[in-house]
Amino acid sequence: MSADDVWNWSATRQAAAIRDGSLSSRELLDTFLERIDRLNGDVNAVVTLDVDRARAEAGRCDDEHARGQSRGPLHGLPITIKDAIEVAGMRSTGGARELRDHVPVADAPAVARLRDAGAIVFGKTNVPLWSGDLQTFNDVFGTTNNPWDTSRTPGGSSGGAATAVACGFTAFELGTDIGGSVRFPSHFCGVYGLKTSYGVVSQRGYLDQVGGGTTDADINVFGPIARSAEDLDLLLGIVAGPPPEQAPAWRIDLPAPTVDMLAGLRVGVWLDAAGAPVDRASGDVLRSAVDAIAEVGASVEEAHPPVDFDEQVGLFVQLVSAAVSPSAGPESGELLGGSHYQWLAAQRRRAEIMSAWAAWFGGYDVLLCPVATTAAFPHTQEGTLFERTLDLDIGTRPYAELLAWTGLIGVVNLPSAVPPVGSTPAGLPVGMQVVAPYLHDRTAVAVAGAIGELTGGYRPPPMAR
């Protein structure tokens, strides 16, 4: 078997091939490097490589395998990591000029857990400045393009990560998500992504400011991006864990999925909101996916928790503004962050809303809702998030409206897995949020996997085939 045939396999299958000896770590790494050399110029997803160190590490993994030794379930898998996450000995910039020469001395805890499981980090993928946009471009590395249409964005802020996964440049990726930064790119690029429950994966080592990574940001999570839901489940079990200072006394033991098939699944569907209408092309794909789920025996209802969409999104805007305020600098940060009293009042309201969601999930297994109001859109880089607009098939809409559906879920700390569920008439991928109760990440992943199998799941973009 040639390693040239395995670039679009799931990470789970690649790891199994390394274990059974039909594929070597060096072969898989060379396959990824060849593809990056040939295709990355069109998409600009991978922005830093450490080839010599990775080849040496892959060689050691192959030698260990020959002696019957294994580092863990990811033994010998070459991977890239989002450039907003610190990797020891490798340039990690957060998309900022101020950190263009920053080389961390230690891995982010989540990266360390991947390495301990046997993964080999060989590169970094592009992000917007401080991970602060729904597109991926910065003054250090330029613009990342969508692999399905290079005139369009792959989303942000994990746009380089999702593009690398879609193009078969890496076994899988690790992204971050404070406003949709795992979910948008997964939706736009046709891959699987998981926004984990808040607090399940340590977010230390997250570069959202100079000197960042030493504390946790509200709402923000780390989560995997992959070519299968099976990969999401595998990676969740590896990266989930407390921050280092809590490790002596705390562990995370996520419950098994409460469901493993679509037949009999209790599904609430929330696809429409006046405050964030979905365009017709994407909405038709979502409706077709919901219809297919109902046809195989799921109990599907137009139902959602008894919360006000606009109020909850407004609460997200208030709290995420406070969370990202350090990256804006002292003066602007003061304006964004608001007072501590305002933050505490918002926290109390969030607790009430979270209780409403928890009670609602007593009657439903999952909620299905959009990731965004549209599929991948043309590069739109002029002005700020609040000045830009998007021309959709339902009219011109505010750019910031894109954040509504992901913010709705993020502000209440819930897990959300995104499977690909189809394509628009223009051939652009569409994903869907599969939302489960707090800490039931494995249920979200299991249902996303079943939906992906039903609707076709991951397909390589034409440019990558």
The one-letter amino acid code at 441 reads D
Measured CA to CA, the distance from residue 78 to residue 54 in angstroms comes to 8
Instruction: Enumerate the β-bridge partners of residue 173.
Output: 225
**The one catalytic residue among 10, 25, 92, 157:** 157
Which run of H or of E encompasses 82? strand 78-82
Query: Is the distance from CB of 413 to CB of 440 less than 8 angstroms?
Result: no
- Give residue 435's Cα distance to chain centre: 14
Nearest CA-CA partner of 90 in 125, 141, 136: 125
Closest by CA to 133, choosing from 319, 399, 314, 331, is 399
Given a contact cutoff of 8 angstroms between Cβ atoms, the answer to whether 135 and 156 are in contact is yes
Catalytic-role residue among 82, 327, 416, 423: 82
What is residue 108's three-state secondary structure? coil
Residues in contact with 42: Cβ distance below 8 Å, sequence separation at least 6, in sequence order: 145, 147, 150, 463
CB-based burial label for 133 (10 Å; 0-12, 13-18, 19+): buried
Q: Does the annotation mark 202 as catalytic?
A: no
Q: How large is the C-alpha radius of gyration of the chain?
A: 21
Q: Is 24 tagged catalytic? A: no
Q: Pick the closest to residue 130 from 276, 336, 314 (CA basis).
A: 336
Q: Which residues pair with 142 in a beta bridge?
A: 138
Set 10, 24, 181, 197: catalytic member: 181
CB 28 within 8 A of CB 34: no
Does 195 participate in catalysis according to the annotation?
Answer: no
Catalogue the active-site residues: 82, 157, 181
